[in-house]
């Protein structure tokens, strides 16, 4: 391919274009053993109006093409809820992938910026795929470790492409890894016991009423995180969509609700790292890859702390310790060996301290970038 040939950025308008948008990362990372592609079938739904986020927000997909070959992709995202809640004229880019060529990256990001500028936005921020409730940031540190479920993965040069376009750091996100031990730190056990003495109880979600229990999670999540940087509340439709994707992966005894006098006050969800299966399926759902999924799903040894929240008025009362204690008891019987705490805002010291209390170590960083785009 002639790298000096002109780059054309075109909007995705046909099913064929969308298929090329979905499949481009499969070729880009074809020789990278750590890349963990989602199933193509699932991505066709995710990028369509069957996804409530796509239906209810302004999302436009673009392909970068050079001499007929796809060399990059990006989405521009305008979220009215973000504009209303955060009172800033900020639009987002997401699902960015590119060959290692500043000209390609600049063409893609300039097109996304232009799309958003035309809608009155003054700042471009990302990557967000689609929002802070999903994958965020470019991987900045920790490239030697495979990504866990629903976390970003990219080549190191992506950060150079972003800064080369004039983008600057907006926020860093952290991931901590905990190598499982047979006993919890004494402080966690002591504090958990105090929470029980105060009448806090913990129960697992029930698969037969999974959607109702996920509604409890939505209530806690929206209350617990509303003051966080970049927060967007989960709508009922988004919850139903996301919960439907998670239900096959959720383990009831590792998905826990804390209550006091019948009121839900905390939620914790440890989800098995299904990425270790997806890496063997290469985006395809066939009889062969289904057999691989059955085989490798029995070998999952890692968990990701994906769902977590405690209502503000119940923080610092041991609710978190009790949730972790109950989850720990279930893990002891399961054979999992590691837990990832992610993602955590770099300045969210209460949650960082929880990870450090367990002896977890910071092993990955992700960076969200931004750039002023107003004329």
CB of 342 closer than 8 Å to CB of 151:
yes
> Whole-angstrom Cα distance, residue 324 to residue 221?
17
C-alpha 254/C-alpha 191 separation (Å) is 20
Average pLDDT over residues 92-99: 98
Range from 17-26, 48-57, 165-174, 334-343 carrying the lowest mean pLDDT: 334-343
Q: Are 71 and 98 in contact (CB under 8 A)?
A: yes
**What's phi and psi for 142, nearest 5 deg?**
105, 35
Find residue 9's DSSP bridge partners.
64
- pLDDT band per the 50, 70, 90 thresholds, residue 125: very high
- Residues 101, 113: Cα–Cα separation, whole Å: 18
| Torsion sign, CA atoms 242, 246, 252, 255 | negative
Are 293 and 283 spatial neighbours (Cβ–Cβ below 8 Å)? no
83-97 mean pLDDT? 96
Q: Is pLDDT at 4 greater than 70 in this prediction? A: no
Of 12 and 312, the one with more pLDDT = 12
- Listed residue (58, 42, 60) closest to 50, CA to CA: 42
- How many helices and strands (H and E) does the chain possess? 13, 15
Asked if pLDDT for residue 3 goes beyond 70, the answer is: no
**Interior CA angle at 94 toward 21 and 61, to 5°?**
40
Over pLDDT 70: what percentage of the chain? 99
pTM of the model: 0.94
Alpha-carbon gap, residue 291 to 46, rounded angstroms: 24
Does residue 358 carry a pLDDT above 90? no
What's the confidence (pLDDT) of residue 196?
Answer: 95
**For a pLDDT cut of 90, what percent of the chain falls above it?**
83
Report the chain's mean pLDDT, rounded to a whole number.
94
Listing DSSP states for 87-142 in one string gives: -S-EEEEEEEEE-S-HHHHHHHHHHHHHHHHTTT--EEEE-EESSTTSEESEEEE-
Q: Quick one: pLDDT band at residue 1, thresholds 50, 70, 90?
A: low
The pLDDT of residue 2 is above 90? no
> Per-residue pLDDT tens for 302-352?
999 998 999 989 988 999 999 999 988 888 888 899 999 999 999 999 899
3-state secondary structure of 308: strand
């Amino acid at each position: 391919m002639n790298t000096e040939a002109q780059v054309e950025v075109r909007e995705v308008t046909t099913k064929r274009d969308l298929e090329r948008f979905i499949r481009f990362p499969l070729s880009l990372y074809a020789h990278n053993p750590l890349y963990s592609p989602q199933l193509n079938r699932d991505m066709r739904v995710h990028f369509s109006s069957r996804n409530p986020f796509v239906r209810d927000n302004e999302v436009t997909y673009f392909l970068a093409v050079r001499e007929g070959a796809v060399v990059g992709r990006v989405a521009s995202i305008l979220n009215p809820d973000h504009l209303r809640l955060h009172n800033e004229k900020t639009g987002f880019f997401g699902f960015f992938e590119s060959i290692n060529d500043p000209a390609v990256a600049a063409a893609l990001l300039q097109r996304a910026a232009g799309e958003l500028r035309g809608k009155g936005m003054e700042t471009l921020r990302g990557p967000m795929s689609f929002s802070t409730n999903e994958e965020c940031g470019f991987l900045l540190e920790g490239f030697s470790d495979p990504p866990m479920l629903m976390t970003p993965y990219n080549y190191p040069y992506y950060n150079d492409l972003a800064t080369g376009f004039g983008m600057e750091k907006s926020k860093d996100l952290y991931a901590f890894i905990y190598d499982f031990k047979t006993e919890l730190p004494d402080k966690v056990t002591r504090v958990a016991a105090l929470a029980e003495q105060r009448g806090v109880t913990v129960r697992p979600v029930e698969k037969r009423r999974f959607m109702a229990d996920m509604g409890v999670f939505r209530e806690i999540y929206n209350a617990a995180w509303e003051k966080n940087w970049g927060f967007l509340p989960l709508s009922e439709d988004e919850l139903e969509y996301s919960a439907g994707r998670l239900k096959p992966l959720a383990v009831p005894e590792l998905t826990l609700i804390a209550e006091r006098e019948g009121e839900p006050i905390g939620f914790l969800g440890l989800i098995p790292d299904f990425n270790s299966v997806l890496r063997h399926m290469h985006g395809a759902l066939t009889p062969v890859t289904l057999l691989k999924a059955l085989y490798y799903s029995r070998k999952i040894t890692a968990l990701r702390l994906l769902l977590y929240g405690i209502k503000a008025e119940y923080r610092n009362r041991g609710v978190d310790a009790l949730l972790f204690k109950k989850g720990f008891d279930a893990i002891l019987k399961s054979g999992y060996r590691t837990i990832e705490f992610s993602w955590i805002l770099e300045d969210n010291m209460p949650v960082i301290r929880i990870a450090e209390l367990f002896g977890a170590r910071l092993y990955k960083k992700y960076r969200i970038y931004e750039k002023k785009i107003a004329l």
